[in-house]
Amino acid sequence: MGAAIANAGGFNANGLEVINYAKVVPTFLFIFLAPLLGMIIAFLITLLILWTWRRVNPRKADYWFRKLQLVSSALFSLGHGGNDAQKVMGIIGAAIIYYELQIGDPVYLAIPPAERFAHFVVDYWWVPFASFLAIAVGTLSGGWKIVKTMGTRITKVTPLEGVSAETAGALTLYLSEYLGIPVSTTHTITGAIIGVGATKRLSAVRWGVTISLLWAWILTIPVSAILAALIFYIVRFLF
């Protein structure tokens, strides 16, 4: 949004007209709705599991939920790639379509506009592959402070709660993917972790950490827009 507005003339009435608010508003709302959905679903799943496994030996239950976390984390990982990678692919895809239009390839121009992204996925197969690979490598190689925050600082997550949170997060991501709304995987899993923590007691959730995260979510969009606009102006000045 920041780059598009800057290109259209800046943060004024004319510049703001280039934004498709029918798509932007749902995306903005889901910044808050996705964590809320994850929290509610995780809360309900945790209660269901606790009731279903109430007669099982705690040590045996802990053993099985450690195994089940492999399944729930895989489901959540698919949701992560299916949502987050598509954001990058969308930007690269738009750039490639623009390039194809600029060079005026007659074969490409003959393709109906609604089918051009399908053509992009087939002919530029390396784009989705590179996007998924980059997210996987990034997740494996860094972000351990975020891992620590998610696993211990919001609330202490047990294997049972991990299964609940990951399953709830995965379901929320699949829903947002179905609706075509990009959401933050981190926002979603944060809400889910708060939901499992709330099943123990509200004080089990460290609300100070949660409020800090909320402020970060709110500031992300305007800060990103301003940075994108500044970088656009710098690049245009240099080239």
Question: Which pLDDT does position 92 carry in this prediction?
Answer: 85
Q: Is 153 exposed, middle or buried (0-12, 13-18, 19+ CB in 10 A)?
A: middle
Burial class (CB in 10 A: 0-12, 13-18, 19+), 104: exposed
- Is the CB of residue 194 less than 8 Å from the CB of residue 153? no
Phi and psi, residue 207, nearest 5°: -70, -25
Of 26-35, 51-60, 119-128, the poorest mean pLDDT is in 119-128
Could you tell me if 175 and 25 are in contact, meaning their C-beta atoms sit under 8 angstroms apart? no
Residue 214 has pLDDT above 80, yes or no: yes
| 65 or 138, higher pLDDT | 65
Extract the tokens encoding 208. 């100070």
Average pLDDT of the residues in 172-179? 92
Top-confidence residue, 9 or 188: 188
| Integer Cα distance of 66 and 55 in angstroms | 18
Least confident of 114-118, 171-175, 188-192, 204-208: 114-118
Q: Average pLDDT of 129-158?
A: 81
Q: Token pair for residue 178? A: 């179905």
> Helices marked H in 142-206 — which ranges?
144-148, 159-179, 185-198
Q: Is the pLDDT of residue 66 over 80?
A: yes
What distance in Å separates the CA atoms of residue 46 and residue 23, rounded to the nearest whole number? 33
* 20-34: average pLDDT: 88
Least confident range of 109-118, 154-163, 226-235: 109-118
Confidence grade of residue 13 (pLDDT, cut at 50, 70, 90):
low
Higher pLDDT, 15 or 176: 176
Start-to-end CA distance of the chain, whole Å, equals 21
